[in-house]
A and B are shown apart, each in its own frame.
Chain A
């Protein structure tokens, strides 16, 4: 049984460098497994999903990028604020995105200006697009055609690769940002609609972290900040976890510098390797390093446990992430019950 059966919007955040985009992509694949349809959304225009799924840069439209195990489909949308604004004008004011008006606005730089003068406007447009994808039903004019998802929604789930932990609460809590600027009007209505979805049980904000001091601290702070503005914290995904190779006893000895040197030398010789002192010294130093790191990781785990959220771990990959490792990460997430 999946741990988040009612969640339709999975927001993935994390400190820079923790691999949140990779986790978002793997989560998308995991959620799509078994014939479901998932949309991955990125809002920072980095084309990271295109790179991960090994496809050319994606235009502003929902494109299928992968097939999940068991026949599911993964779509990607790369949202750009300018396009989102034109989209919004099209939906609410019938301004054709390719017409003279839209072209004039683009040429004048008006769109950049509009998304700049109200700092919250940019986030409202981006999150508005996400919300629209979450609530959309049937086959829309964009994106997948044909049958709707299992419960009538176009997508069974939407996964948002969100801004980093330090900015996530502000990014999602658009109503307060807008509140200071627009007390009435369409922008206010729009942001209220978005907030209603974000604060509902169909949304979960997952925090990706490494077992290092700063990312763990940011995760704790981020979770507190999200909770303080009424946004639902979902899971903690611990990325790049090292496999435990040494017994707890050996780890303690390694950290203390009291590993059994003669046992190591005997083992090396048994395996047919020479065991000159410099090599043995280097191996002991590497092991001590590892033990220090494992101890820090353990402390990080304890700190994270205080959040009392479901937690999933993904291994440190020996090489850069490619398509096949993405499927492996998805399988691991699924096996741990996130999807």
Chain B
């Protein structure tokens, strides 16, 4: 409705990305349909002939069932029912965060130390509820899946974080935490044994240690320092792995797909994420705007539609037409509002390719539904590779 619309955004050529990428990361704020988008992209890539695996974090039950995922077992399972005509295949798996973490510990800990770590109460809390562990483990699993070479394309759905940015920061936060100077301060008592260490520490550190002991109790502190001491030999491994994954995200063949809904908050998160990717030199493939409302009868404006409905309501006798006109007015107004929000995004980020997916009345929970979303993502094209 703006009088001076900006240039139309570049169309996001989804198929070109699906055919070339080796890693596709779907990201966006919670509640925008990220998991469904990841699954639809993976299915489409598979039906276009690529050996694909999709790593999901927390799929809705029926969507998971539609892909044959009944349990969280950390192993890619073949999805039945895809069209194999182009030679592709689809595997899917759900992330088991704790098990992934345990596997890293077992791989990297010195013989005999792994059990001490796995049994430590602090480790158990860290590996199942530290804010950021899920993101870190998703990245870890991505690296593992990619390393096997069993697939041409790994599609990863990111955890439902408050902010899309958490996902990029989490591995860094966890390694900083496990590797930081606070840890070394706490490590000292474990090595020195007993409280003698207090004398050699500076005043503020003593204060800190005292305070922390007071707050969380000596037992927690002891668990932490034992855990850290056992983990010490793994620091190198942790740092290396985090760095490796980070590099993988910048490698040629990786593409980020930012998912949003045509709503103010979701598009704002998408804008933050787009800017952050640029800062990190990470490759953005495009923006998917989900749940877009369209109207086939946009020639009839909301204003005229309401006016017509009013005249019918006053005259009486045409309830159906009046109700239909009111519905249409709401729909056109909603479509216009969504378009304005999108124009604002594209005005600020004119080079980001965009594709829209139409709102569906119900949720997607079978392969046909995913296939339809995939076709919408590709601008209405069937998956078959053009001859």
Interface residues of A (CB under 8 A from B): 15-18, 44, 46, 85, 88-89, 93, 95, 101, 104-105, 108-110, 113-114, 116-122, 164, 166, 170, 177, 180-188, 212-214, 217, 245-247, 250, 259-260, 263-264, 266-268, 270-273, 278-279, 281-287, 289-290, 292-293, 296, 318-320
Contacts and interface: CB of A to CB of B under 8 A. Distances in A.
B124 A44 contact: no
B304 interface: yes
B126 A119 contact: yes
A267 B326 CA distance: 13
Contacts of B312: 267, 270-271
8 contacts: A16-B160, A109-B180, A122-B131, A185-B219, A213-B60, A263-B318, A267-B322, A268-B321
A254 B326 CA distance: 15
A229 to B, nearest CB: 15
A211 B57 CA distance: 24
Contact of A270 (B162, B180, B318, B324): B318
A180 B121 contact: yes
Interface in B37-93: 58, 60-62
A259 B320 contact: yes
B370 to A, nearest CB: 15
A271 B330 contact: no
B8 interface: no
Interface string B321-339: 1111111101101100100
Contacts of B331: 286
A319 B311 CA distance: 24
Majority SS of interface residues in chain A?
helix
B219 A273 contact: no
Among A117, A212, A282: residue with most chain B CB under 10 A: A117
B182 interface: yes
Given A89-B215, A118-B125, A283-B328, 11 more contacts: A16-B31, A93-B214, A105-B208, A118-B220, A181-B125, A181-B220, A182-B216, A267-B318, A283-B324, A286-B324, A296-B361
Contacts of A110: 182, 208, 212
A213 B180 contact: no
Contacts of B299: 279
B122 A270 contact: no
A273 B310 CA distance: 13
Contacts of A267: 312, 318, 320-322, 324-325
Among B177, B217, B330: residue with most chain A CB under 10 A: B217
Contact of B327 (A17, A89, A286): A286
B98 interface: no
A213 B362 contact: yes
A119 to B, nearest CB: 5
A120 B130 CA distance: 9
Nearest to A111: B208
Contact of A104 (B30, B207, B318): B207
A183 B219 contact: yes
Contacts of A260: 320
B309 interface: yes
Nearest to A100: B204
Contacts of A281: 296
A117 B216 contact: yes
Nearest to B358: A289
Contacts of B219: 181-185
Among A266, A283, A319: residue with most chain B CB under 10 A: A283
Among B211, B214, B215, B309: residue with most chain A CB under 10 A: B215
A135 B311 CA distance: 57
Contact of B121 (A104, A114, A181): A181
B243 interface: no
Given A118-B216, A264-B320, A320 B297 contact: no
A46 B182 contact: no
A122 B304 CA distance: 55
Nearest to B205: A108
A286 B296 CA distance: 8
Among B29, B205, B312: residue with most chain A CB under 10 A: B312
B363 interface: yes
Nearest to B173: A116
Nearest to A288: B361
Interface string B8-44: 0000000000000000000001111000000000000
Nearest to A316: B330
Interface in B357-379: 361-363
A270 B181 CA distance: 78
Contacts of B217: 181-188
A272 B363 contact: no
Contacts of B32: 17
Contact of B207 (A105, A213, A263, A264): A105
B129 A119 contact: yes
A121 B180 CA distance: 19
A110 B206 CA distance: 12
Contact of A279 (B125, B181, B214, B300): B300
A118 B309 CA distance: 61
